[in-house]
Each structure stands twice: as C-alpha cells, then as structure tokens.
Structure 1
Amino acid sequence: MTWPRFVVSALFVLACQRDRTSGLPGAEPFEAEVAQKVIAAKGSSTEKFTNRLILERSPYLLQHAHNPVDWRPWGDDALAAAKRLDRPILLSIGYSTCHWCHVMERESFEDPEIAAAINRGFIAVKVDREERPDLDRIYMAAVQRMTGSGGWPLTVVLLPDGRPFFGGTYFPPRDGERGRQKGLLSMLAQLSAAYRDDGDKLVQRAAQLIAELDQPAPRGDVPGSGAIETAVAGLAKSFDATWGGWGRAPKFPRPAVIELLLHHHRRTGNARSLEMATRTLERIAGGGIHDQIGGGFHRYTVDDKWRVPHFEKMLYDNAQLATAFLAAHQATGRDDFAEVARSTLDYLLREMQAPAGGFHSATDADSDGEEGTYYVWTAAELDAIVGVAGVAGAGVAGAGVAGAGVDARIVREYFDVTVGGNFERGTNILWRRVAIEEVAARLALEPAQVRATIERLRPKLLAARAKRTKPFTDTKVLVAWNALAITALARAALTFDDARYRDAARSTATYLLEHGRRGGALRHAIAGGDAFLDDHAFLVAALIDLYEADPDPKWLREAIALQRAQDAAFFDPQAGYSFTAKTHEQLVVRDRVAHDDAVPSGSSVAAENLLKLYELTSDEAYRTRATATFTASGATLARTPGALPRMLAALDFSLDKPKQIVIVSPVGGSPDALLARVRRAYVPNRVLVRTVEGAALAALSPLVPLVEGKVAKGGQPTAYVCVGTHCEQPTSDPEVLTRQLARAEPLVVTP
C-alpha cells in the first residue's frame, strides 16, 4: 500500500525524536528547521535514509541524498559544526558522471557501518567539483602534494578550519579489498584517533602544507619562442609514434597540445609537429574513446591504443576536440577531420542541448549499474540489427562467419568485433583498429563501398542503441563549458558556412547573456554561484569567435564589457589573474596558479583574448595586461612550458605579426567568394571583421578603428589583410586573398 504523505512525514519525525540520530546511524540530530526542510523535500519517498543533501540543487549531491552518511554541503554551517563538535572534516569531492565516485558510494557511503564511523568521528562534506571548481583545485593540489597523484573521487581530511592534513582518491571499504592493504573503515579509525591523540602534529602538518600551497606563482620575464620550441621538443620525446598521444596509459586527448602543434607547424614548417597532431587525431577518431555510432568523445582511455575508455562524456572535452579537428581540417584540407568535427557537434546538438537553452554538462559512464553497457555490443546483437543485406554485386572474401551476412561481416571487420568480445562479459567496444583500406582489402571491396555501408548502417545502430537504458545526464548548464561549445559552433559555422551551427552558437550566447547574469554580474552556472575566471575568459573568447562567424557588433561589445568586468574582479598587475574574484569567499589559499589541464587555464585564454581585443580596438591597455599575464607565469613558461600549451599558443600570437582581415562589402553585395577563402585557410593568429559600406561601417568605426577608411573598391567586396598599420594591396580577387592569407611569419627562435 502507499502511505499518505503526512503519515510518512510523521513517522520520519517520530523516528528522529526517538533515536536522536535523524535516522542516520551514529549521527547528530538535525536542527529543527533543517529537519522540517528535509521532511518536506523527502516527501513520500520510501528511501530508508535521507540527509541534508536532499535540499541541494547539484545532481551529484542529490545522488548522495539517501546515503546513511550525514553529508552536508560545503559552507559556514559545516565548518561551524566541525569547530563546535571539535571534529575533523571528511571532504569528498566528485561529479555526477564519475564511475569511481559511484563505486565508492556503493561500497562505502551506502554501508551503514562505515557511515556510522563517519558520522561519529567526522563532519562529512560533499562537494560537486563542477559547481565548486575553486575547492576542487585547492584540495586537489593539496592531495597531489601529499601523495604525488590525484583524481576523483577526491577524499581529503581537514582540520575544522578547512586546512587539509590527509588525502587520497578512491579507497576500498575494508582492508584487503581490491588489492589495497588499508580500507576506508580502518583508515577512518586511525585518522579519528590521530586527531584526538596527536592533534598538534596534524595542525603542524596542515600549516606546513598550506604554506607550500600559498606560495605565489613565481614571476619571470616574457619568454621568447624558445619556450615554444622547448615544449615541442618535450612533446616529441614522449610522443607515441604508433598510437598517437603522449606518454603511457591512461591517455587523455589534450586538444590544447594538438592546437599548439598546428600553430608551430604553420610558423616553422616542422613536419614532426604536424605528424604528432594528425597521428593523434587519426588514432583518437578511430579509437573506442570516439563514439563510433553516435559521435562525440568519452573522457579518456585506460589503455595506450585509445580503445578502452571510461565512458563518461563531458561537454568540455567534446567542444575542445571539435575545435581541434576543425583546426586540423583547415591546416591539412583533410575531409575526415571535418567529418569528425561535424559528427561531434551534431552529437552535442542532438543529445546535450538543454530544453530551455544552453548545453548540459555531462553524461554518465554507467547505466543499468555497469560501466559502458550503453555503448558496447555483442557480435550477435550487431548481426541481428544489421541483417543480411550487402553491397550489390560484391563478393566478400572470408564471409564464412556462420549466420553473418555481408553487412554483418563489414561491421565486424570495420569495428574489430569478435564473438568472444574485445571488452568485458563478451561484449565489444566499437573501434577502428586498422585503416579502411585494409578492411576493404580483406573483404575484396573498395574502400568507398565499405564507407557507404557503414554510413548506411550507422543510423540503424544508433536507433537500436537508443532503446537501451540511457546513461544519466547531468543537467547543469555551466557558463565556462557552454562558452567552449559556442567557440566550437561559431568556428564550425564560419568554416563550413553552416547556418545550423551559427544559429546554435547565437542562441547559446544569447541564453548565457540573458540568464547567466544576476544584477549584471556573470554567474558560474545558470542555476547560480559566483563566476570564476574561466567563466569570464571562456565567454569572452566565445563572443569574439561568434563575432567573426556572425558579424553583429553586439557580440564584440559584450566581449569588451565582460573583459572589463573580468579585469576589475580578477586581475592584479603584479600577480596576473586569480581563479577567484577579489570578493570571493575566503578559502584556505587564494588560487593564482595557471596550468592548462582538461580545460585550459583562464589566464591562458585571457592572454589570447586580450591580444585579439588589442588588434580589434588598438587599445594599448589590452596588450599591457596580456604582457602582465605572461609575466605572471613567466617562470613556469621558462622552466616547464609544456604545462601551459594554451598559453604558449597565445604567446605565439604575441610573437607573430597577427593578420587583421577586413572584408568590406557594398550595400547589397555578397562577400561569399572572399569568405570562402578565409573559411578554408588555417590562420590562427588573426582577427576577422566584416562590414558593409555606409552607415554600418561608420557605426562600427568607433568600436573597431581598423575599418576606418576602408571601402569596397570598384563597387566590389574588398578584402584588406593588414599587420599593424601596414596593409597589403586591397583585393577583390579570391586567388590574391588566398596568397595573402597563406604567408606565414617564420618563428624566429629567441630565448
């Protein structure tokens, strides 16, 4: 039977009053006001346990709302409780689509015995790293300094004032499990005893750790191109010439590195740089990290062949990889790179768009309680779906696979499918182990026939897969990650002259500008939260990209206004940009460290934004702040430049002679013939301005002074390619424009 809501609520209150544990083993009772809110939020749910996280909006925190752990969100209340009860804080940081976060929840946080140990000895705090990247960055840095590594779930033990003294990532529940000597339960007992008996030593340890973390990033001179050459040489040493990428497993795609190599090749003609970029993109595109049926990319792979991924899909990965494949398409003219960029963006538009606007943040690795089940296939499943149809008039060598028709044989060969499976439980991850030419030769077909068959069958496989239990989608709309998507869409709109991508970029930018601000101040997410440096910098970059794809001056005006707000809130002339605003909540340290990771540093993106705004507006203040940004990271750029590939790309922009491309059309004239040449040219260090003679040009001149005096010569659309105050001969000839765009300033090696 279904109990009336008031009965459920009454029973919950009685239980709380009876055992004074709020129904959570070993926990302090809820405060009366909190108890009422929890009861109201719990409603008619029949879950055995409900904690304070039921009151939160984060999908990740809500996933833990029915743990027996007395979780609290980060905030003054949690810190005050730790001080009042004189307990250490057990801080657990993760995200909703993290496979090992789910594992640790099932094994430990749903275990009443472990929950009781946490509740009796600690104040338990849950943090969604996507909502609070400031906390994640600080405590990840602490764990990396303590252990030499990091990851998620991130597990940190803090003093009541928030200073860390112990940390790690995933822990098994008990000693000896998963090959670990120590499990979480015994570790909790030891930590609780250490806090009780040796608290002074822990305070000293925490103080020393904070002192190390709170060191300002060493400043240095603005480096020359030698920093770029050093980074490229380091990449060449660690490059996997067979499978692409850098280092050993696990492997991450590193799109910022790929774009740096494309920059370097254009300026130097270095064939090795181009090879590293294209080989990596080829292998990623063919790997299991790439969703071969639905498009888009998983986060990383656990092997060195890009075959076996962790199956979560992140908005930021897909936006950046689409941009990298676009750049490679322009740099090489290869259509296969263009196809991957398109399929990735089509995946975002099909599966990740939020109904109200913007894009969701991620999809989970797990469904039906197992990782990857949505994406993997048995040979029999594939045979049943594709049927026995085949290529008309074509024989297939070796088609003696029992019960398999021509289509099934092609699918098996193309995606490396076996009856025994290439993954777990007899299933297969679809990937392209060998080139299509080799597949065609095995099947006695032409490559075009194989390609056409796969393209014909892909929608059929996608439709069949859609009937499965879909992975959970984290519906947060984050400003920074959506800005990365705008950049990808805007650049694709310009490159492909595709109105779908242009419309999506426009609508997403409009949504962020209308709903991502409160009282004029940018927010971190549509749902709220203070903005961080990345939110500002990525959105400024996106608006500049959108202005090039959709030449409405409002986009540039918004970019300039946001840059002004960013500088006021985050910039210090001596220290550069900090990750948090000057008015942000005071944490144990203020994070000023710039490093390009899964997403680039906001400082790196800001440096390039400032340089582009200088080229567009001639305002010297932008270039001065860009120089200060390089100086703030000067020591890192000199010692370990490979840690900042996106900043090195910005440095390359500053060392180059960036092209100012202005196309002026007469009223009613079409610039399409000239634009077609801009679309296909790889010119990363440039700005593009399009305008129309007359009122439009006159209105634009105060904002973009470089359009002043430029006209449509002879009544024809005219292109001006300028460097600083010097312009090449204006032209209406697409061939002449192509030659002007192709000229690259050589990279002169300087210290």
Structure 2
Amino acid sequence: MNRLKTATSPYLLQHADNPVDWWPWSAEAFAEARRRDVPVLLSVGYAACHWCHVMAHESFEDQATAAVVNDRVVAIKVDREERPDIDAVYMSATQAMTGQGGWPMTVFMTPDGEPFLCGTYFPRARFTQLVTAVSEAWQQNKAQIKSESERISAALAENASALAGLGGKAGELSLGEVTDAAVAGLATGFDSQHAGFGGAPKFPPSMALEFLLRYHERTGTEAALAMAESTCDAMARGGMYDQLGGGFARYSVDATWTVPHFEKMLYDNALLAAVYTHLWRRTGSALARRVAEETCDFMVRELGTREGGLAASLDADSDGTEGAFYVWTPDQLREVLGEGDGDFAAVAFGVTAAGTFEHGASVLQRPAEPREHERFDRIRGILLTAREGRNRPGRDDKVVAAWNGMAITALANAGALFGRPDLVAAAENAARLLVSVHYRDGRIVRTSRDGAAGPSAGLLEDYACVAAGLLTLSGVTGRHDWVPVAGALLDTVLAAFPDGNGGFYDTAADGERLIFRPADPTDNATPSGAFAAADALVSYAALTGDERYREAGAAALAVLPPIAAKYPRAGGMGLSVAEALLSGPAEIAIVGPDDDPRTGDLVRAALHAAPPGAVLALGSGSSTDGAAIPLLESRPLVSGGPAAYVCRNFTCQAPVTTPAALRETLARA
C-alpha cells in the first residue's frame, strides 16, 4: 500500500494498491527527491480516462516496472480534476516540448519541479526504458539537465506572463464588432456537411453554441441560429448522445458524431443541458426539450451523490473494454426484443451487421424520428432495462465545485422553464452541499467526497461558476440567502485573483506557488475562469446595482478581441458575456407570493422571453426584499397581486401583471 490510501480523489485511490510507491503532490515528495538525489516522475490523469487505465494496467500494476520506478525516481500521482492548476502548468510544458498533449500526462522533472522531459501514454517497455534512461542521464549530466529545465521553466513563465498581460494590450474594445467577427470566424470553420466545427475528433462546442443562440436572439441573424441548431441536432442524433439513458459522452472520435469516447463528464452535460434548454426557448424544438430534460435526468439519476451533490464522471470502460456498456449488435437486440421488434430497433438505432464500432457492435444513434412513436418508446424502455443488467462503468464520485455550479445553473433554469420542481430541488441540494461543505468565509475548496472537503483550494472557475449557479438559483426560487454567498465569492475573486491588467489568474494570490502562476483566459472543454468570472460579476452587478462588479466583468473581456479573431471557439463564454452587456443586461424583478400560480407564470414567461444575459430576482413584494437584493427594493405588488418589473441600470418600466404583457415588454427591452 502506497501513500495514496488516504486520498479523497477516486483516481488516486485507483492507484493506492499499485506496487509503484506513489506520493501525492506535496512538499514532502520533492524533499524526498532532493534527499535521494533523483528525478521526479509526475503522472497526471483522471478516473474516467481510458488510456490512463491502459497505462496503469500495463506499467503501474506490474511488479517489475514498479521496481524500476521505485529505484530510479520519486513518483507523484495527480488527479487533474482535483488540481487543474498543476495540470495546466505541466500540460503547457508537454505541449511546448512535444507539440501535443493528453492524458495520462507523463513528466520528468527536477526536485525543484522544473520539467525536462514530457510525454503522454507510453507502452510498458518504452516506459521502463525511459525511466532508466532518465535516471542514468540525471546521474551523468545533472548540471546540464538542471540548466535546461531552468531555461524551459523560464520560457514557460514568460509565455504565461505575456498571456496574463494580453488584456492590457488589447486596446479599445468594441463589443459589437468583436461578436460580428466571431460569428464570421465560426462560419468559416463550420462543417456544413456534418455540423459542428472542424474535423475529427469533435468536441461539443458548448460555449460557442450558447453564444450563437444569444447572438441570434439579439440580432436575428439566421446563420448564427442555423449553425447552433444543426450542431445540436447532429449531436443529439449521433452516437455521442446516449439514446437510451440520456446524457452526452465527452467527444466524438470521428467527424460524423457517430462513435464517441464513451466517458461522461458532469461539465459537458451541465453545459449542454443549458444549451438545449436555450435552443428550445428560442425555437420550441421538441428534440431540444427532450434532450435537455433527459440530460438533466441523467445528471440527477446517475451522477447524484447521497450528500446532494453531483459526481464528476462516469468511466469509458466496463469489463475492461471501452464502450462495452453502451454498444449493441443486431443479435443482441433480437435476443432482448424478439425478431420483429429487434429488427425495428436495428433500423431505428442504426445498428448494422457490420457495426459502427468494434467487433461488429454498433453505437446507438437516432438518425430520424421513428414513425411508430409508441412502439419506439416501449422498445427503448426495454433496452434500457436490459442494459442495466450489464456491468456498469465506474463512477468518479468526487464533487467538483465549478462543475456543480454549472449543473445548478442548468438544473434550475430547466426546472423552472419545463415546470419540473424536481430539477430545481436537485439544484438546491447541490447548492446546499457546496455551501455547507466547500464554503467557508468567502473561500471555497475545489472538491469533496462523501461529504468531506478535499485538500485542494478552489480555483477561479470554482468561485465564478458557483457564484453564477447560486445567483440563478436565487432567481428561480426566491431564496435570497444564496446571493450574499455569491457576493462573498466574487469579493474573493476581486481581492485574490486579479492579474493587474483587468484579467485574472486561475489561482489565488495566496495559493501554492508552482513554476509559474497559470492564467489562461481561453475556453477549453469548460469556460475559462476569467470569462466565467466576467459572467458572474456582470450578473451580480445587475442584481445589486454596484458598478464596481460590472466594471470588473467588462474589464475581463479586454482580452476577448484577439481570442475571438484568431480562434472564436476558445472565446465562447466571453462572447456570451459580451452579448449580455450589449443587451444591458436586462434586469427583471418579479414579486408575488410563492404559492400564487401567477407568480410562477411570470417567472416562466421571464425566463422564456428574456434577452441575452438577463438577470432575474424573485421576491415576495415585502419591504424587506431590497435588503437582500437591491433590484427588488421598492418593487411592490400591484393591486395586491404578482407583478413584473423590467429594468435597465435600475431604471424600470411600468410593472406588468400578465405573462403576455411581460413578453411584450421584454420584446421592446
């Protein structure tokens, strides 16, 4: 048993029985490397990672390989989801040295944490040779290796500093021009045949889709809606979407959205549930509503934890094979359904004799809506029940603060719009866990497991996404106690994360010092911390009227023009915030008793018709509402009944009392 047995990360616990003498990331591990005068091996991965499992089985579980590792280096294992700051720093080194990145990430470094050789997955023989060669080179050419690693670290720090200062050099920001150029750039990279952007592999462009929907909402540009709608349709009908149980896999390995990489991440599903909810709101698409609700149901059903949070991910593998839980052959369909229904299901789900995946199996797709809906729904239910008899993929049950914040936003909005109080309740449960376990005095920790806080400090994205989720939840429930917590988190953002140029670092000023302080303003699979902070700051300013937060949010967008011009997909979250600022954002105050159905009708009308980035405050109409949320101050009931006030910069139009009047007012806003 190595030193990982007390970890709170399921990924680290997967390696706790390895013969490799793993250390967690710690000052003690580096001190041990200095004491022994050996290099450090850093291995970074995550629990749902297929190739991480492969390397673990081949190398880390092998006694002979472990003996070489233990003799030659000090080995450190890191969960990239628990410590994304460490991952970001050394991934930048890996990409700089090799031209590519990925997981597992394998880095050899000095006892001072300075990298000198990087890679990703290595087969066992190559890995053993590499460890041996690195050890021998260290003994023979230590001074040269240290000199080179110092040069590499200095170059990485310089690049990071330049990126952090990019906002200060961006010049005057014209939001309208930036968003127009971004749409044009997205159109250039759009796959008109299969939808989405670029070629294989294709990741869900969640933030770019949200931006396109907001842009269409503001400008009416049909091309923007067409890109978003066709991409959402292609993803939902392809194999990346679980056609039986709902929820999205991490990405498609091909350009046609047919074969996924089967791991399911909370962040993807939270972001995509929000996008499909928004698409339904814009178009009334039945497919969009079905997928939004099914994705929310998947999150609650399969990722929900006993403590009320949402788990990080589901593994790609089961029975030692990627995708085994999800794929079918025609014979398997007939075995479960019988001859007639089995053949019907094969056509409906695109299951062929040749197969679309491996060994003649097919990933289920839904290329068209079936003509016999009742028969299809019955068959789908039977297959889902039968699939439950298979060995399920493993679950990484740690709760990640930022990802739960995203899920709170998605569940709260979908629950309110679709009349699903169970989804709103799930959002409230997750919020309660975050506030009771992760949050203390304006500070937040990154992860928890089984109701116990993990060891890692929260990053910028944790503060921003949790704050945004709590603000959304307050708006749809009328619970005002979430707002001061969001405000305290944003006060920490402004105090501990600024980079001095209007942007933000990803780690707090008093956080652990790495070889450089990461500050990446670009979106990746999740929104960048800087753009997520801008979003939460602008929303909080609209609720409180405090211009300090709005100015900080707008300043964080100074880095947006060069990002949007060169790679608009990496600026989707910032572009969405830009759309909010271009639209005001609108401020909607609704007052009325929570047990009066007219209040709920006004809330749904507001969510349905609100312009991009609008904020919602829900109160009772009492004189005390404004003490918690200034937007509600002096917003009384009208003739004793519920009313809605549409405002900009706290200047409000005359209150309205019906959903139709509210929709009309918002259309003019």
State TM-score, norm by structure 1: 0.84
Distance 1:722 1:599 in 2: 31
For residues 381 and 463 of structure 1, what CA distance do their matches in structure 2 show?
14
Runs of 4 or more consecutive aligned structure 1 residues displaced over 6 Å after TM superposition: none
Aligned to 1:568: 495
Shift of 1:99: 0.3
Deviations 1:346-372 (A, max 9, x none): 111111111122111111111111111
Q: Secondary structure at the match of 2:232?
A: helix
Matches of 2:631 and 2:5, distance apart in 1 = 55
Aligned to 1:392: none
Q: What residue is the counterpart of 2:282 in the other structure?
A: 331
The secondary structure found in structure 2 opposite 1:662 is strand
CA distance in 2: counterparts of 1:593 and 1:678, whole angstroms: 34
Instruction: State the 1:90 CA deviation.
Output: 1.1
User: How many angstroms does 1:690 deviate by?
Assistant: 2.2
**3-state SS in 1 of match to 2:293:** helix
TM-score normalised by L of structure 2: 0.94
**1:359 and 2:310 correspond:** yes
Matched, 1:188 2:116: no
User: Does the CA-based 8 Å contact 1:257-1:646 persist in structure 2?
Assistant: yes
Q: Is the 8 A contact 1:53 1:65 kept in 2?
A: yes
Label 1:575 to 1:80 Cα distance change in 2 as closer, same or farther (>3 A): farther
CA distance in 1, matches of 2:593, 2:361: 61
The structural deviation recorded for 1:587 is 1.2
Partners of 2:17 and 2:658 lie apart in 1 by: 67
Residues 74, 675 of structure 1: CA spacing in aligned structure 2 closer, same or farther, 3 A cutoff? closer
Partner of residue 611, structure 1 = 538
2:223 aligned to which of 272, 281, 285: 272
Alignment of 1:17-56 (within 5 A): 50-56=1-7
Q: CA deviation at 1:424?
A: 1.2
Structure 1 Cα separation of the partners of residues 329 and 595 of structure 2: 58
Quick one: distance in 1 between partners of 2:560 and 2:199?
A: 28
Aligned partners of 2:560, 2:96: CA distance in 1, in Å? Answer: 20
Q: Percent identity?
A: 41
Residues of 2 paired with 1:644 and 1:257: CA distance?
A: 7
Equivalences for residues 71-110 of structure 1 within 5 A: 71-110=22-61
The answer as to 2:62 corresponding to 1:111 is yes
Cα contact 1:494–1:548 (8 A) shared by 2: no
Q: Does 2:368 match 1:435? A: yes
The residue type equivalent to 2:609 in the other structure is A
Alignment of 1:137-176 (within 5 A): 137-174=88-125
The SS at the match of 2:624 is: helix
Structure 1 residue aligned with 2:625, among 700, 703, 728? 700
Instruction: Say if 1:223 and 1:637, in contact at 8 Å, map to a contact too.
Output: no
Contact 2:196 2:231 in 1 (8 A): yes
* 1:228–1:641 contact (8 Å) kept in structure 2: no
Residue 369 of structure 1 corresponds to 320
Report the CA distance between 1:639 and its aligned residue.
Answer: 5.4
Does residue 490 of structure 1 match 2:412?
Answer: yes
Counterpart amino acid of residue 653 in structure 2: E
Per-residue Cα deviation, 1:635-662 (whole angstroms, up to 9, x for no partner):
5456555422101211222233221112
Aligned equivalents of 1:77, 1:291: Cα separation in 2 = 44
Asked whether the 8 Å contact 2:253–2:260 carries over to 1, the reply is yes
Q: Aligned partner of 1:421: which letter?
A: G
Counterparts of 2:395 and 2:661, CA distance in 1: 49
C-alpha displacement of 1:318: 0.9
The answer for unaligned runs of 5 or more in structure 2 is none
Which entry has the higher C-alpha Rg, 1 or 2? 1
Deviation at 1:151? 0.9
Alignment of 1:126-275 (within 5 A): 126-174=77-125, 183-215=126-158, 216=161, 217=164, 218=166, 219=168, 220-221=170-171, 223-224=173-174, 225-275=176-226
Q: What's 2:291 paired with? A: 340
Q: Tell me how far 1:712 sits from its aligned partner.
A: 3.0
What amino acid does structure 2 have at the position aligned with 1:203? K
**Aligned equivalents of 1:313 and 1:410: distance in 2?**
28
SS at match of 1:381: helix
Higher RCO (CA < 8 A, seq sep 6+):
2
Q: Secondary structure at the match of 1:424?
A: coil
Query: Residue in 2 aligned with 1:731?
Result: 656
The 1:692–1:518 alpha-carbon spacing in structure 2 relative to 1, beyond 3 Å, is closer
SS at match of 2:171: coil
Superposed displacement of residue 429, structure 1: 1.0
Q: Supply the distance in 2 between the matched residues of 1:520 and 1:265 (Cα, whole angstroms).
A: 37
2:444 paired residue number:
522
- Deviation at residue 575 of structure 1 after TM alignment: 5.4
Q: Tell me how far 1:722 sits from its aligned partner.
A: 1.8
2:226 aligned with 1:292:
no
Amino acid at match of 2:155: E
SS of 1:719's equivalent in the other structure is strand
The answer to whether the 8 A contact 1:91-1:127 is kept is: yes
Measured in 2, the distance between the counterparts of 1:656 and 1:519 equals 34
Looking at structure 2, the residues matched to 666 and 470 of structure 1 have their Cα atoms a distance apart, in angstroms, of 45
Q: Give the counterpart letter for 1:661 in structure 2.
A: I
1:30 matched residue in structure 2: none
Q: Residue in 2 aligned with 1:385? A: 336
Change (3 A) 1:685 1:107: same
CA distance in 1, matches of 2:614, 2:607: 13
Matched, 1:685 2:618: no
**SS of 1:557's equivalent?**
helix
Residues 276 and 197 of structure 1, relative CA distance in 2, 3 Å threshold: same
After TM superposition, give the deviation of residue 725 of structure 1 in Å. 4.5
Pick closer, same or farther for the CA change 1:734–1:66 going to 2, 3 Å: closer
Q: Deviations over 1:18-73 (max 9, x none)?
A: xxxxxxxxxxxxxxxxxxxxxxxxxxxxxxxx322234332111212232222211
Distance in structure 1 (CA, Å) of the matches to 2:425 and 2:266: 19
Q: Match for 1:303: what amino acid? A: D
Q: Any idea what SS the aligned residue of 2:591 has?
A: strand
Paired residue for 2:526? 599
Flag the 1:575–1:586 CA change in 2: closer, same or farther, 3 A. Answer: farther
Partner amino acid for 1:727? C
Relative distance call for 1:66 and 1:309 in structure 2 (3 A) is same
Residues 1:411 and 2:345 aligned together: yes
1:473 lines up with 2:395 in the alignment = yes
2:549 paired with 1:622: yes
Across the aligned residues of Structure 1 and Structure 2, the Cα RMSD in angstroms comes to 2.0
Q: Partner of 2:434: helix, strand, or coil? A: helix
How far is 1:495 from its partner? 1.1
* Deviation (angstroms), 1:152: 0.6
Cα separation, partners in 2 of 1:361 and 1:237, compared to 1, 3 Å: same
Does the aligned pair in 2 maintain the 1:227–1:641 contact within 8 Å? no
Q: Is the 8 A contact 1:666 1:712 kept in 2?
A: no
Of stretches 136-145 and 703-712 in structure 1, the one that deviates more from structure 2 is: 703-712
1:663 Cα shift?
A: 2.1
- Aligned partners of 1:314 and 1:222: how far apart in 2? 38
Q: CA–CA distance in 1 between the matches of 2:300 and 2:416?
A: 17
Q: What is the one-letter code of the residue matched to 2:347?
A: E
Cα deviation, residue 435, structure 1: 2.1
CA contact (8 A) 1:331 1:682 kept: no
Q: Distance in 2 between matches of 1:414 and 1:604?
A: 41
* 2:570 equivalent to 1:643: yes
Do the aligned partners of 1:663 and 1:719 also contact (CA within 8 Å) in 2? yes
Count of aligned pairs between the two proteins: 655
Q: Is the 8 A contact 2:20 2:70 kept in 1?
A: yes
Bigger shift: 700-709 or 509-518?
700-709
Find the residue that maps to 2:605 and give its secondary structure.
helix
